[in-house]
Structure 1
């Protein structure tokens, strides 16, 4: 499984998660790391969604921007792309980066299990509280 982090997340999160999951054959990439994107780091949401859709690899994505679910074009692109998405709750914006990274590592098994059990597309909100379950979001 590959994990894509968009521009609304720090590259540190992708690097940290990658270090934790690579021993199991998974990878994490920040948008800045994918030079094959049409406009690189400046690719619009519909562009990176289409890029992941066309890939032969299994992808999930992590975003810090829940507005991706409010824009009709992006929402349609997400549904047709068949991706598992994880939106970081708004509390992440006020949380120190090292704590955000630790929560993502903590949540990784749950995120991976959702990707294995549910048919894509699916969308979940990731709470900052480690004891709270991932909350399904309408797609």
Structure 2
């Protein structure tokens, strides 16, 4: 499983999660480090969604911007790409970076379980509380 962190997330979160999940054969990358995107880190959401759709590897994404679900073209691209997506709850914007990184590592088993149990496409919100379950989003 590969995890893409989009531009609405800090690169250090991808690095931190990668350090944890790489031991079990998974990988996490920030969009700035993904090869083959038409405009690199400045690629539009639809461009990176299509890039992940065409990739032979299994991808999920984590975004800090819930507006991706409000744009009709992006919602359609997400559905057709068959991706599992995870949106950080708004509370993450005011949370110190080290606490966000710790929460992402804490939530990884639950994120992985969702991807194994549910057929893609699916969308979930990652809450800030460590003892709060992921919340399924309709899109």
Equivalent residue pairs, number: 139
Residue 78 of structure 1 aligns with which residue? 78
Q: Can you list the C-alpha shifts for 1:31-69, whole angstroms capped at 9, x where unaligned? A: 000131111000000000000000000000000000000
- Listed as ranges, the matches of 1:87-106 within 5 Å are 87-106=87-106
Q: Give structure 1 stretches of 5+ with no counterpart.
A: none
Mean CA deviation greater in 59-68 or 27-36: 27-36
User: Could you say what the CA RMSD is over the residues aligned between the two structures, in angstroms?
Assistant: 0.4
Structure 1 position 24 matched with structure 2 position 20: no
Structure 1 position 47 matched with structure 2 position 51: no
Residue 59 of structure 1 aligns with which residue? 59
Q: Give structure 2 stretches of 5+ with no counterpart.
A: none
TM-score (norm 1): 0.99
Runs of 4+ in 1 over 2 A off after TM superposition: none
